[in-house]
Structure 1
């Protein structure tokens, strides 16, 4: 019998890999114990566990003798609390990843009262969420919320909608989130279409073996008056938000379960945008053995009903600053500018796992994700059916193969805009991972088939390769290259809103898939000061895109007008067919640098500090607008010139709706139950937008021509709280402390200063 313990705490270590005479024999159970039989009298034993240094021992004993051994493991310098799985589907220290992975801990999510997941995601360096559209390192701009280049995954399965390919952020069970992992770079090899720009993995909690977990959180938010009194439209009922969420779970022998509930009510600071939502999420797991070996059966499900509202633009820049513009959205109630949608969505996700004693792991999972509208005569209905199989096969102690196949079927019924459509997607993939001594590396490939009714089917192979080298125990260099792709969504291809919107959107049946590659070199430094653990990271990235899909304003005449000279097209016809359409940009390029610092732990016995700081500069350009940028050396010269320049000609070729500079600072200190934090964010101005907005949106041209207007935006949030052992934690949060009038997306103002009182209790 072998027992594995921590040398510092003497605590048992479960799931430690046991290697005897070069062959993996299994792993320790929840008590840190491994039992085996042998006729040999001399054995070489190696014990490996993430976060600890591998330990070897040679043992001799008489035949037939019962031997009791204790091996104690030293904590590795790499163990600073972050182990990731998204980039490779395998557990790996974040320092040994070949791509940049940022981990957002649950404490930072809850302490800022993130009511919707994008509030938390938007804190990650290099990431922006604009109108629900997540972008990593300027990979996307404003696109009416259609199509995502970031694949969103919940507990190992994608969760993007079937019609728009977007993420319904309020559907994510934020009350159950354990942490968030953001992969910066193509994730298409392991997760398929949609991972062109990266991936976000939402990992929800399981209770520890033999323990229970319970959380309760409630809050009340009030919005202050605008700095300019003329822009206040509310007089009797002040805008605000309140909500409650609860989580309860338990691990009883071989059965684990977690239940989460969430209720949210919003009186919008934008007029006519009040909202409500209710959500229930359930997870259960039965394990044949508590050490994870053998079979595990998992069932996850979530259902949510919501009454939501959205808008495109303000009515003007003065007294109607916080009022939607009439005529910009269809099927509205009370005001044309606000679209009301009653949504119901749910998913069911069964999963079967099997792990052999030799470490071979099989996973078979399925998901049915349904989204439908409830407040129209012919409501939108979408279904996404997903089946995924993967196998993790260890070849030896330092090499593993991950392989699998995926099949998706999706359908949409939308009589108003898209029609009745079906599609399917089939793929196979494999990846080899290597981790030994100073070197970590992986290489993989995916082949994907995609078919949508009414358009040509597509087949695409993609590759990835990367390496990580430990220069010393605290300094790591990485380099990687990966290809990615994204198939256009139903909405991008088929949407037709002509006649229902003042500025219509037209279909494009000739839309081609996006395809690109990403290369990155980076370095990560670990620094421990007492029990305060730090990451410092610097990277240079380069992305090239072919057929990038951008929503573009223009004149989109039907084919019957192709033979008519442009000067003979009637004016009323031109006006009728002016609008937006998803178009392919033949060649786009984006290069940038990123620096980040994250830390967590105690500086002294009573003083703790948590930081998340990042600066990103990037220059995304449409090479078709400046052919000289095809030359990499010419592009790099213009890139470095543009960092400090405001009027460089290269800015005229930038992709639309992008910010070059992005700075994020979040610092939180803890002292004897008290916490205090500051959140500062800065975004440089959007360099290019469609001229139609400058011309036709009321007040926008006047706004950007005001003396002193730069277009650069920033805001500051503060928080202070106190946690008691008996009564839970109380936190006061003040967002937009200076009460600035600012916009992350043009003509869509953010909230004035607002105050939130939050209460949280963990049983």
Structure 2
């Protein structure tokens, strides 16, 4: 009787075991087993992890159709559809690495090539990188790129530029889909308002690239590549809020218009309208902003897969900073100080492959930037238009990869300052050629040159050479040498030029700034049988500048004096990046840059202000597949830099301390189509004013009403102005924004 009872109790288990089966198999990479790979059945709780031999086993699987996924950090996930009927089954996976080393790059040579095969070192940053530390614009996101630093230039309006390898913002060219529509006046605004969900990747080239891109690509370039509509989600939404009251929303969706046309639409909205004054100087710590950007990209299917795409963007922003009691009724007045900027711009980008047997593309862009600003009681009204077009012929021959191009760039600029007495209008025609020669299966040589004609400066010639040697499958050595140039633009938005009417003095016929650069790059990949992957990317560079044009506001307070530098400037340094992907699901990255940027004039060498001698950045990510949680820890550190004080009596330090910004984020993706994330930005609560008597000089007297000046226009020490200072908001090198929480959600259909 007891035996029958036991059989009766076990009967459901026996019957159930007869109706369940197992799934087993292996996971390999280059025929080597991978350990700790997550293998699971989609939309179920059943899964397994591979052992030391790369073998996995999933038990108790009932009959039916399933999608089985093998997922491992640093590798492309692989999905397979399986059917279980009346027997156990075996499924084997072979993974491919998803590292950016094998991704396609365009920026280095103006044509799509594998990053490993490119003779020009190009760094790639994908949307995954942007998600590790969500930001409302790309300008802030670049703080986690080694050797790249967003520089804030004003404590009040928070405008800034991008420094690459310690060089000032005007030496960095910013492209969108390869078109130079972001430059000069619009650099910061052009990096805002591009929805992160629409970005395919960000490509960064450090060093001169004028042989392909012309003026402004002196120190390096940043190319923001947007997604093709056919490769995007039907709908994506990403929004977050912070403890300071910031709110950011990215919306993207695609539309199929017939069988041959696809449109991608993106909208970004950012709002920060919560004045905060934590440092007690009665000025906003962070500029208030109300910004909207609408982006649309169209692709058209054509015969023989020829390319035709068209994109446009409209951007509007209302930002202000100033005294806490400021409102728009005070705009332009001299009672309450505020800096208010209205920006309106639109952009058009196109790429059309000609209907001929040869591979020829016509690329074009146009941007119109209108800015209405006031700095206290000083108006700054400016317009800038940039038109660009180029015809590129890509020709393949045996062992030769040729590229020829004709280009023209139209620049128009006008403002109401004394630095621009007449509108600056010029058209610069160009011709360029490039040949990448395959010397041997392991060696490539790239030769390039560009000729530009500027009526103000005459003929400008910029050659370059690049050599790539691949001694093994996992080692690459690159040697690059080239030149860059930047034609002079006298327009300025510097606060020193806006403090009163100044005469513009041009002491000589200005020559284009020139740079000469040599760069050595070494890349090494290391694989382990346990599934770990290590990547070392090291570079050393030396750049020599001539004819540098630096506006002189100090010699005469009533003048802006322009002249070419009587001497030279140099930038030299080394950069190291180390990536590691561990079998446990942890991925880490650490980078460091050591640099020396100096100016030599009249045999006197001085260090460039606002340039750190070293910087570092890091990120650590851990994905726990069982809990669907991902932990991201990101940070950066900067060495001391020279700061712009107002002379020997200024009590503010002329050197910054070593400082660091660190962030942490937790993401949950356990719900279908949804991700939820939260975290803390600036964990250490670091701000630049903690060890200074003040950041803004004479914040209580922003119109210098109580400042006494001598006959030469210099401020004099008095009882109520013991340091002899004037109002100065330019003593800044980092954001005043302290620690804050953030919470966000992503939806992807």
Q: Same fold (TM over 0.5)?
A: yes
Q: Which has the larger radius of gyration?
A: 2
Task: Report whether the alignment pairs 1:287 with 2:290.
Answer: no
* Structure 2 CA distance for partners of 1:138 and 1:75, relative to 1, 3 Å: same
Contact 1:96 1:476 in 2 (8 A): no
* Structure 2 CA distance for partners of 1:520 and 1:679, relative to 1, 3 Å: same
Q: Which residue of 1 aligns with 2:221?
A: 199
Q: Which residue of 1 aligns with 2:86?
A: none
Q: Which residue of 2 aligns with 1:400?
A: 401
What CA RMSD, in Å, does the superposition of the two structures yield over aligned residues?
3.5
Task: Report whether the alignment pairs 1:723 with 2:745.
Answer: no
Task: Report whether the alignment pairs 1:661 with 2:614.
Answer: yes
User: Deviation digits for residues 262-318 of structure 1, max 9, x if unmatched?
Assistant: 1110135464531101111000011214xxx3533221100011102357xxx9xxx
Contact 1:669 1:676 in 2 (8 A): yes
The Cα of 1:407 is off from its aligned counterpart by 0.8
1:89-488, aligned counterparts within 5 Å?
Answer: 89-131=110-152, 132-140=160-168, 148-161=170-183, 163=185, 168-208=190-230, 212-223=233-244, 240-250=245-255, 253-267=259-273, 269=276, 271-272=283-284, 273-289=287-303, 293-309=304-320, 331=332, 335-336=336-337, 338-354=338-354, 360-374=358-372, 379-396=381-398, 398-417=399-418, 418-419=420-421, 420-435=423-438, 437-451=441-455, 456-488=456-488
Contact 1:524 1:537 in 2 (8 A): yes
> Mean Cα displacement is larger for which, 737-746 or 655-664?
737-746
User: Deviation digits for residues 673-707 of structure 1, max 9, x if unmatched?
Assistant: 21111122111111x344526645xxxx2456xxx
Q: Which residue of 1 aligns with 2:550?
A: 550
Equivalent position SS for 2:543: strand
1:593-604, aligned counterparts within 5 Å?
Answer: 593-598=574-579, 603-604=582-583
Contact 1:553 1:690 in 2 (8 A): no
Distance 1:183 1:401 in 2: 21
The Cα of 1:164 is off from its aligned counterpart by 6.8
TM-score, normalising length: structure 1: 0.71
Contact 1:78 1:474 in 2 (8 A): no
User: Deviation digits for residues 528-556 of structure 1, max 9, x if unmatched?
Assistant: 34665442111211111101233444213
Distance 2:570 2:214 in 1: 22
Q: Which residue of 2 aligns with 1:750?
A: 736
Paired residue total: 591
Equivalent position SS for 1:108: helix
Contact 2:400 2:437 in 1 (8 A): yes
Distance 2:495 2:629 in 1: 53
Contact 1:212 1:250 in 2 (8 A): no
* Structure 2 CA distance for partners of 1:75 and 1:392, relative to 1, 3 Å: farther
* Structure 2 CA distance for partners of 1:197 and 1:676, relative to 1, 3 Å: same
TM-score, normalising length: structure 2: 0.72
Where structure 2 has 5 or more consecutive residues not aligned to the other structure, the ranges are 1-27, 31-74, 76-93, 153-159, 278-282, 690-694, 696-729
* Structure 2 CA distance for partners of 1:661 and 1:335, relative to 1, 3 Å: farther
Contact 2:664 2:679 in 1 (8 A): yes
Distance 1:97 1:355 in 2: 28
Where structure 1 has 5 or more consecutive residues not aligned to the other structure, the ranges are 1-6, 10-50, 52-72, 141-146, 224-239, 316-321, 557-574, 628-651
Distance 1:266 1:333 in 2: 25
> Mean Cα displacement is larger for which, 165-174 or 747-756?
165-174
1:511-522, aligned counterparts within 5 Å?
Answer: 511-522=510-521
Q: Which residue of 2 aligns with 1:617?
A: 594
* Structure 2 CA distance for partners of 1:498 and 1:193, relative to 1, 3 Å: closer
User: Deviation digits for residues 195-249 of structure 1, max 9, x if unmatched?
Assistant: 011111101111446x7432101111113xxxxxxxxxxxxxxxx3102111112
Distance 1:539 1:323 in 2: 50
Distance 1:585 1:400 in 2: 41
Distance 1:624 1:323 in 2: 45
Distance 2:409 2:597 in 1: 32
Contact 2:380 2:416 in 1 (8 A): yes
The Cα of 1:719 is off from its aligned counterpart by 1.2
* Structure 2 CA distance for partners of 1:76 and 1:378, relative to 1, 3 Å: closer
* Structure 2 CA distance for partners of 1:498 and 1:96, relative to 1, 3 Å: closer
* Structure 2 CA distance for partners of 1:506 and 1:100, relative to 1, 3 Å: farther
Distance 2:146 2:343 in 1: 32
User: Deviation digits for residues 690-739 of structure 1, max 9, x if unmatched?
Assistant: 4526645xxxx2456xxxx9622112211111112425111112111121
Contact 1:330 1:500 in 2 (8 A): no
* Structure 2 CA distance for partners of 1:212 and 1:678, relative to 1, 3 Å: closer
Distance 2:289 2:446 in 1: 46
Distance 2:335 2:147 in 1: 38
Contact 2:132 2:634 in 1 (8 A): no
Distance 2:476 2:242 in 1: 44
